[in-house]
Every structure is written in C-alpha cells, then in structure tokens.
Amino acid sequence: MADIRQQLYDRIKASTKESVILEEMKRLGFWKQETGVPSLPEQLILQEADLTKELQSLLEQQRKYQNKEQALKEMRKARLEKSKLKREENKKLRKQKREEKAARWKATQETDIIYLGEDVSKGLNNKETDVAKINTHQLPGITTVEELAKAMNISVGTVRYLSYNRIISKTTHYKRFYIPKKTGGKRLISTPMPKLKRAQYWILENILEKIAIQDSAHGFVKKKSIVSNALPHVKAEVVVNIDMKDFFPTITYPRVKGVFQSFGYSEQIATILALMCTEAECDQIDLDGITYYAAGLERFLPQGAPTSPALTNIICRKLDARLKGIATKFNFNYTRYADDLTFSASGEATAHLKTLMGFIKRIIKEENLHIHPDKVRVLRKGARKEVTGIVVNDRPAVNAKELDRFRALLFQIEKDGLDGKHWKGSNNLLASIKGYANFVLMVDPIKGKPLMERVSKILSTHEFKHVIRHKPKSLLANEPEKPKNTEEQSKKPWWRFW
C-alpha cells in the first residue's frame, strides 16, 4: 500500500493532481472515453499538466544555474558519462572490425596468396589468365591459387610455405653439397627436400614436359640421350664443342616467371610456380646453437631440381632456333646437351668455321648467356673427336684406352678383390664401375653387354647396395681445394648427375 501511495505522490509531483485523477478515472471507467477530439475539460486538465511539467523543468534549471560550481560539476559529470559511453561503443566497434578483418584474412589465407616476401609479391594481385593460350598448350587450366593447391594435392598454406621468398630463415627447402668438376674445383648441387621435390615433379610432368622444344635439344629429353646428341656429328671432319659459363645461375627468376606467363598463366600463378622452381644462393650460419640460412638477393635455377633442365630447354628454344638456323646456312650440324653446344661439318663447309663462330658468339650474347672462355674446343681431322664424352670419329664409341683400363680393373678385382682398387677417383668403387659399365652398354651395346655381365657378378659377390651419401655444403666448403684431376681421372661430366 505504501508503494502505491508513493507512486501516486510521484505522479502528482511530476504533473498535477487533476491530471492524475483524470487518468485514474479513465482507467477505472468513470470518465467516458471520447473518440476524436477530447472534450474541453479534458483538454484544460492535460494542458495544465504539460505547463506544470515545463514550469518544473525551468525551475530545476534555474536552481542549478544559481549554483554555478554545482552546475559546471554536473555538466562535466554528464559529459564524462557520455564520453565514457562513446568510448565503450567505439571499443566494441573496433573489436568487431578487428574480428571481421581477422576472419576475412583467415579466409583469404585459406584460399589465396597475396604476399610471398620482398621483391616478388608485386604481381600477386594480377589474376588475369589467358585461357585460350593455356588450352593451346594443353596445360592444366589453373586460374586460382586454390585450384593450383588442389591440383598438387596440397593445401594453400603448403603452397605458400614452398614458394615464400625468405631472406633469413631457420628452414631450407634444399640440401646442398658439392661434387668435383672434371676440370678441378667443386660444383654446388642443390637437391630439393621431399615436399618441394613432389611439387616440382608435378610442375615438370603436368606443365613443362607438355611444351614443345627444339629438335636440336637432347639433354634431359625423353627418348634422347648423350648418344642421340653425338650421332649427328659422327665422321665429321671438324667438331666444335662450346660450353656456356654459369649456365643455370644465368637463368634467373624473372626469366622463369616470364616463361610461365608465356604459357597463359596469370602473373600470380606464374610468380608462385617460378618461386617453386628457383632459389637464391644460400649461406648456412650457426649462431648460439641455432642454424640460420641467409639467402642472396637473386634467385636462379638450382642444379639438382627436377624442373631445372626442362626449363633451360624451354628458355633456350629461341637460342636453339637461331643457332640451328645459322648452322644450317653454313652446312653445319648443331646439337645442344644442357650447356654443351656442338657444331660439326665436313668438306667445303669447314671453310666457313670462322664466320660461323662470329655469329655463334653474337647470338649467345644476345640471348643473355655467356661462353666459357676456357671451354671452346675445335677438333679437326686426325684428332680424337668427342661429343658429351662419346668418341665420334667413325661411329659412336667409348674412348679405347679408357675401356682397356676398365677391363684391366675388372680383371684385377676378379683376381684379388676390391682392396687398393679405384676408378675415376670415386670413393665408391662398386658404384663407379656399375655406372661406367652402363655407360658403355648405352654407347656400344656389343662391347657393353659382356662388361655388364662381369660387373653384375662382381656386385653380387660383394653384396652391393647403392646408397649415395654426400657431405653437406657447410662441411665441404671449408675443405682444402684438391689438385686438378688428370684427364684420365675426370671424365664423369656433371650432367650425369640427374
């Protein structure tokens, strides 16, 4: 009851006694509810109530302003409360925006790639694809990163991980080691780790191997070999062998990216594929028990990646066409095995050799490649002519003196065992004799077959299992330089590594 009385007092205080009585009489049914315009007494009562409320409001403001300090205090308090409410609202709004942005970024990361490190991310927003050109080459119609990841059977995150351009990192996608060069020194080989290797094989089998190359290219091409590379030069009076300097490092990331774009792929997809197929020179640094890998500035084709040879053949299509054209003009034969260029001719055509060499040097320079100044060999009539390790004087053959030494080595192994024996400076005698026997079998099956039978018996007797072990780059790089091998000990060319 006390609560009801207090409520009535508060209502009367807020308006007038007559207006409260009118409201209660309407509520209880003692006052007839007029429809339309209220009656005159009712209007007067309501008007009086409104005027009373307005008067009370004005009186309240007057009381406040009579005490200036109190009025300012209340104004500040009201302003602070309003500001606090605004801050809370802004805080909630910013949090909501952050959460929405994080959700959008997470969704983008799961389906797209917009950054892959410094200096390589510029074109990742360009997703324009030439579908007609892709179809012309009969390549996978990949237009998005999500489609690329699905085709490779990996996640978008793995695509990002394999293609990210890291300057300093605790991980590396390559195992690096050195193999001896046949002319002395060491050659760096970079073999990709399993995840990257699988991705590179997908690129090789689904894209690169579907691109037509020039007939004069024989290196790392199906149904071609060092034998097919040597055959056009058999019985030639003059054979010219030219090696290109730093062949794989010369093929840099921009050129590889341009190749994939030429197939019709967008700049985004071409960037990702090119990053997967290239690497920068990397130094291993051990600091406080942690291994870091510091990459150089320029990415290039690594020797050891399955995609590198195919990419060189594609990039060298124009080079091969120009060299083939100029060779044909002067009645020369031309073939290329990786970075080994071979020209040959007989009869009157040999008189044009000097002119041909001038054109060759100019063409190679214009294609942004470089001739090794110490590896240009002109073999004339009467000399032993070799092309990628195969003697081509009369027919494809193996060096006779070397073959005699190999037969003598097999005899000694069969007689006395393996102790004290070696072949071509290899640390693994059984693996080296197996490799050489296979080489002879490929070049000259008649001579190679009996040698292979003898080698197989030796391997079986000594329970041979071929396991390749290479020292890491960090260990081998600090080893003292070995003296140059003699010609007899250094015939295994680098291109037999693959």
pLDDT in tens, 430-477: 999 999 999 999 999 999 999 999 999 999 998 887 655 544 444 444
Please give the pLDDT value at position 491. Answer: 42
The CA-atom distances, in angstroms, between 171 and each of 75, 115, 291, 292, 473 are 62, 19, 8, 7, 15
User: Contact 279/406 with Cβ under 8 angstroms?
Assistant: no
Contact criterion met (CB below 8 Å) for 283 and 304: no
d(Cα 326, Cα 464) in Å, to the nearest integer? 49
The CA angle 304-305-306, to the nearest 5 degrees, is: 115
Topology of 217-249+306-396 in CATH?
Answer: Alpha-Beta Plaits (3.30.70)
How far out from the chain centre does Cα 361 lie?
A: 33
Question: Residue 231 burial by CB count (10 A; 0-12/13-18/19+): exposed, middle or buried?
Answer: middle
Could you say which residues of the chain have pLDDT below 70? Answer: 1-2, 30-42, 63-66, 182-184, 466-498
| Phi/psi at 484 (5° precision) | -60, 140
Please write down the HEC assignment for all residues of 420-473.
CCCCCCCCCHHHHHHHHHHHHHHHCHHHHHHHHHHHHHHHHHCCCCCCCCCCCH
pLDDT for the residue numbered 39 = 61
Q: Give pLDDT, residue 187.
A: 82
Please choose, from the candidates 165, 123, 125, the residue with its C-alpha nearest in 3D space to the C-alpha of residue 298: 165
- The 10 Å Cβ neighbour count of residue 409 is 17
For residues 178 and 418, what is the distance between their CA atoms, to the nearest angstrom?
26
Show Cβ contacts of residue 324 under 8 Å, excluding neighbours closer than 6 positions. 214, 216, 334
- Residue ranges in 234-352 assigned as alpha helix (H): 247-250, 253-262, 267-277, 308-315, 317-329
Q: How far apart are CA 280 and CA 224, in angstroms?
A: 30
- Condensed to tens digits (0 to 9), the pLDDT of residues 157-192 reads 999 999 999 999 988 999 988 887 766 678 888 999
DSSP assignment of 242-261 equals: EEETTHHHHSBHHHHHHHHH
* pLDDT attached to residue 283: 87
Nearest to 240 by CA among 368, 355, 332, 372: 332
What angle, rounded to 10 degrees, do the helices at 308-315 and 253-262 form? 70
pLDDT at 186: 81
Unique residue bearing structure tokens 């990397």: 282
pLDDT value at residue 7? 78
Question: How many of the other CB atoms lie within 10 Å of CB of 34?
Answer: 9
pLDDT of residue 482: 45
What is the predicted pLDDT for the residue at 495?
40
